[in-house]
């Protein structure tokens, strides 16, 4: 049960709502903004049953900048997790084909 809660919690952290406030406050780009823009690009994260592995994570975004959050933040966390072999990871811009990472 704790693992399920942990995945849901991280899915909620990745979605756009957390980065929206700092993005709206700053009007000029500054160093480090890639984290805010990439988090804001992620529309939703779906966690469900996988086809080849027990769990599937799908990350739907509205802009390609969201790949930064997937590739530079989420994947390193998964790589160091014992759950790595249990996950299928997909990410993509809405309206385009999903990219499979794992």
DSSP string spanning 36-82?
A: HHHHHHEEEEEEEE-SSSSEEEEEEESSTTHHHHIIIIIHHHHHTST
Average pLDDT over residues 69-95: 93
Average pLDDT over residues 15-34: 56
Rounded distance, CA 18 to CA 3, Å? 22
**pLDDT single digits (tens) 51-71:** 999 999 999 999 999 999 999
Rounded distance, CA 84 to CA 28, Å? 38
Cα of 87 vs its chain's centroid, Å: 14
Beta bridge partners of 56: 48, 88
% pLDDT > 90, the chain: 53
Rounded distance, CA 45 to CA 85, Å? 19
| pTM of the model as a whole | 0.70
Contacts of 64 (CB under 8 A, 6+ apart): 41, 93
């Amino acid at each position: 049960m704790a693992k399920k809660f942990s995945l849901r919690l991280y899915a909620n952290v990745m979605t756009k709502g957390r980065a929206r406030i700092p993005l709206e406050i700053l009007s000029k780009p500054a160093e480090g903004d890639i984290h805010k823009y990439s988090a804001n690009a992620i529309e939703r994260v779906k966690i469900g049953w996988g086809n080849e592995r027990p769990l599937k994570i799908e990350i739907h975004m509205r802009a390609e900048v969201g790949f930064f959050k997937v590739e530079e933040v989420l994947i390193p966390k998964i790589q160091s997790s014992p759950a790595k072999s249990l996950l299928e990871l997909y990410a993509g811009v809405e309206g385009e084909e999903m990219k499979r990472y794992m």
